[in-house]
Chain A
Amino acid sequence: MLDYTFHWRPALRALPEMLSGALVTLEIAVLSMILGTIAGVLLALARQSGNRLLSGFATGWIELARNTPALLQVYMAYFGLGSIGIFLDSYLSVLLGIAFNNAGYLAETFRGAMRAIPHTQVRAARSLGMGSAKAFRLIVLPQMFRIAFYPMTNQMVWAILMTSIGVIVGLDTDLTGVTQELNVRTFRTFEYFAIAAVLYYLIAKLVTVSARLMAWRLFRY
């Protein structure tokens, strides 16, 4: 162990490669959040819909997403779907696996946020002649996103970190994938993974800081 000497210079030379990996990581996280948010809103609505089938489906999704390892969820998207004849490449299965996970967590966040909006808000909107869909879109959704904004930021950070499990389905373009490739090629394990850790940390910080700025711009009330 003591005969391991650090070689930072060659490791740092791989930085551009790792940065482009970081970009892929960020891309997967952002897309999985967009998909997860859309699905999460629909799941939250389905769960409260009163329709047995819809709410059962939503509850099943939410329970699975929240109570099984994210790693298994990505695994299922890759191998599980493959066994029923749907073949996704590793990028897509990571994206959809994480979106599945995001949706489960966000659905519960959204449901709680919707509950926090007084029913009188919808009543006031309906009294002005808005249909229920319009009232939801114009009055409930914007207030819901404000209440859910910080939990959503957390989920986004979580999504970034989750992308690292993509290696198990052979994803080699994201930050962990690129790092793993470099590691295999050079065996400078510590240096590469240390740099990767710093990059993950920086992306996560970047996300939280820009979320704070966004909140400041969006929620003026």
Chain B
Amino acid sequence: MIEIENVRKSFGSLEILKGVSLNVEKGEVVSVIGGSGSGKSTLLMCINGLEPIQGGRIVVDGVDVHDRRTDINKLRQKIGIVFQQWNAFPHLTVLENVTLAPRKVLGIGRREAEEVAVRHLAHVGLGDKLGVFPSKLSGGQQQRMAIARALAMSPDYMLFDEVTSALDPQLVGEVLATLRMLSEEGMTMIIVTHEIRFARDVSDRVAFFREGVIHEIGPPEQVIGNPQRPETVEFLNSVL
């Protein structure tokens, strides 16, 4: 379970997160929607400790992410994240991209790591690209590789940051299909997305982010289907 309690986060004097609270249960899929610059990416970075916070706390399975005594590398092993920008390791093949962390972080042998990697890559439809370098992949394929790479660590949680926003429309579908598949398999996920329809279909709850706080949260039928707050209505009108 991910517990986010009244989290505050600033870059310099600019406060980005102004008291965010959100609990994500095991197996739950929560989508985060909201305007550009509202702090959605920043929140994901805070959840796996890539960014420090200035107030509140984030607790994952009982472990405080930002506590100095926390073994953050260990904690990150169970929180997979796929970033907004493509983040393939260009000097490694697709297979090596996916086996690297299991081998070098978890200490799994090459053969076993490759078996797991091949399974995940096949799962996201890249079974025929094992020896290819990322530069030869399309954006959608790179993004799916990043998903396989995160999954190869057998995480308990997956965080997705607008994994389709940099993609051509025809590639969006394939990545969303991958996310949908994961949600059906029971993966706990926080999905930052601009794809409102997708968020409605796949989420247990949708959180509307505005000005550094969660402005409205609830089941998709409410937040997207019948929003209670005028700002939510306004946002949805602007993107739908």
Contacts and interface: CB of A to CB of B under 8 A. Distances in A.
A38 to B, nearest CB: 20
B37 interface: no
B50 A128 contact: no
A5 interface: no
Contacts of B89: 121, 124-125, 139
Interface stretch (B4-12, B23-31, B75-83): B75-83
Given A120-B85, A134-B104, A129 B91 contact: no
B61 to A, nearest CB: 15
Interface string A92-135: 00000000000000000000000000001101111111110010
A128 B150 contact: yes
Given A120-B85, A125-B89, A130-B101, 9 more contacts: A120-B83, A124-B87, A124-B146, A127-B50, A128-B153, A129-B106, A143-B90, A219-B91, A221-B134
A143 B134 CA distance: 14
Interface in A9-57: none
Give 10 nearest A-B pairs by CB, closest first.
A128-B101, A124-B87, A221-B133, A129-B77, A129-B105, A129-B76, A127-B81, A129-B73, A142-B91, A120-B87
Contacts of A126: 50, 76
Contact of B48 (A121, A127, A134): A127
B135 interface: yes
A87 to B, nearest CB: 44
Contacts of B91: 142-143, 146, 219, 221
Contacts of B100: 128, 138
A185 interface: no
Interface of B: 48, 50, 73-74, 76-77, 79-81, 83, 85, 87, 89-91, 100-101, 104-106, 133-135, 146, 149-150, 153
A217 interface: no
5 contacts: A127-B50, A128-B149, A129-B106, A134-B105, A219-B91
A131 B104 CA distance: 10
Interface in A184-221: 219-221
Nearest to A218: B91
A169 B54 CA distance: 60
A125 to B, nearest CB: 8
Interface in A130-175: 130-131, 134, 138-139, 142-143, 146
Q: Which of A125, A219, A221 has the most CB of B within 10 A?
A: A221
Contacts of B106: 129
Nearest to A221: B133
Contact of A130 (B79, B105, B133, B150): B105
Nearest to A146: B91
Nearest to B131: A220
Given A123-B83, A127-B81, A221-B135, A138 B90 contact: no
Nearest to A123: B50
Most A C-beta atoms less than 10 A away, residue of B50, B80, B87, B153: B87
Contacts of B83: 120, 123-124, 127
Given A128-B153, A129-B77, A131-B73, A123 B87 contact: yes
Contacts of B134: 221
Given A138-B104, A221-B133, A130 B73 contact: yes
Contacts of A120: 83, 85, 87
Contacts of B146: 124
Nearest to B48: A127
Nearest to B84: A120
A146 B81 CA distance: 27
Contacts of A138: 100, 104
A207 B6 CA distance: 61
Contacts of A142: 91
A124 to B, nearest CB: 4
A130 B87 contact: no
